Amino acid sequence: MKNTLIAPSVLAADFANLQRDVEMINKSEADWFHIDIMDGVFVPNISFGMPVLAAISKHAKKTIDVHLMIVDPDRYIKTFKDLGADILTVHYEACNHLHRSLQAIKAEGMKAGIAINPHTNVALLEDVINDVDLVCIMSVNPGFGGQSFIENTYKKVKQLKEIIVRNNANTLIEIDGGVTSKNAKQLAEAGADVLVAGSFVFNAENPIETIADLKKITTL
């Protein structure tokens, strides 16, 4: 049986009721908290920063998966460890020395992830696949929640899965952007291990049920 992990993106939460939404994720069948950090430089938007993550960490009872959409992320690796990150993902396009960044994340005791933009070919990851715990394939251009899913993603998931198998790696494949109950099953079948879902979960009438549905349809 394949158990696909569900990671609600807190970017889509109600920030005026953040503790309520964090408790909702705690209570639900969700596996991880997905935390989007944007700097207004790498992506054309600014989300939230350290004090907000500290507040989330205080209440979160599940794995904290931090997605850094910032330039030169090496500056903040230790900071995010101290803020409670369990997994720290940096963008391929934002790192000049990606191999070094991955080692620095792991040296702090976190799992290391690489996110790739929709235009970045998965083949570029072949030489670091054994050094990375997670690859986050962006299925929208990063920067905003609520965008529509890019269909080319299925092909990328399959290609990446081949690279992982060929190299005997145990890297997880995460999909981020535009995930709904319409594409979740096909993504899991293509080889995705973790699905991030922001607006689909938080705009739903019943987020707890929506998470349970996503979990059910992606259990293969």
- Residues placed in the known binding site for a divalent metal cation: 34, 36, 67, 176
| 113, 89 contact by CB (below 8 A) | yes
Q: Residue 140 binds which one of Zn ion, ligand DX5, none, with CB within 5 to 8 A depending on kind?
A: ligand DX5
Site for ligand DX5 in 16-35 (CB under 6 A): 34
Tell me which residue of 56, 58, 1, 28 sits closest to 197, measured CA to CA: 28
CB of 75 to ligand DX5, least distance (A): 20
Burial degree of 120 (CB within 10 A; 0-12, 13-18, 19+):
middle
Q: Which is nearer to ligand DX5, 9 or 28 (CB)?
A: 9
- Among positions 35-94, residues that touch Zn ion (CB under 5 A) are 36, 67
Q: C-alpha distances in angstroms, 154 versus 42, 66, 109, 158, 168?
A: 25, 23, 31, 6, 21
Among positions 86-145, residues that touch ligand DX5 (CB under 6 A) are 140, 142-145
For residue 196, the cross-strand partners are 7, 176
| 176 is a contact residue toward ligand DX5 (CB under 6 A) | yes
Q: Which residue of 31, 86, 174, 176 would you call a contact of Zn ion, by CB under 5 A?
A: 176
Work out how close the CB of 77 gets to Zn ion at its nearest, in angstroms, rounded to a whole number. Answer: 18
Interface pick for ligand DX5 out of 67, 91, 156, 215 (rule CB under 6 A): 67
Which pair of tokens denotes residue 157? 């998931």
Q: What are phi and psi of 168, to 5 degrees?
A: 55, 35
Q: Residues interacting with ligand DX5, by CB under 6 A? A: 9, 11-12, 34, 36, 67, 140, 142-147, 176-179, 196-200
